[in-house]
Amino acid sequence: MIAELQCVVLDCPEPLRLAEFYEALLGGTVNRPDPRWALGETWSTLHTPSGLVLAFQRVPATEYRPPQWPDPARPQQFHLDFSVPDLDGAREQVLALGATPLDVSDGRGWHIYADPAGHPFCLVRH
């Protein structure tokens, strides 16, 4: 095992509004303090009763293109965050599995990759 699923992140134009929608649907707590994330206008979270964390990341409304099921021209949108103890060690392992680095800037606690099918995911230091 290389990583642990940390949360599922959905792009949206209004993070808090979408977090509140899912809170009404699933229960839980919106924007519960958690050292893993900085909360604000561009990022909200929902800690669900089952332990799953959903996160909502702002994309400007002018740039956001919601999915249109089942149109492949407007596919589903999300990315996964995986918690890892060692970013450098996990980097070597995911690259060996076929991941492509998208943004591995140093000096912060996460790196962004694409899986072999092109879906983005983040490795986040825990």
Query: In a 10 Å sphere around its CB, with 0-12 CB exposed, 13-18 middle and 19+ buried, how is residue 111 labelled?
Result: buried
pLDDT tens figures, 58-99 = 999 999 988 888 898 988 888 899 999 999 999 999 999 999
pTM of the model: 0.83
Contact 82, 7 (CB under 8 A): no
3-class SS of residue 116: coil
How many domains does the chain divide into? 1
pLDDT tens figures, 18-69 = 999 999 999 999 999 999 989 999 999 999 999 999 999 999 999 998 888 8
Domain with residue 73: its CATH number is: 3.10.180.10
| 45 Cβ contact partners less than 8 Å away, ≥ 6 residues apart | 7, 19, 30, 31, 32, 34, 37, 39, 53, 54, 55, 56
* 12/65 Cα distance (integer angstroms): 9
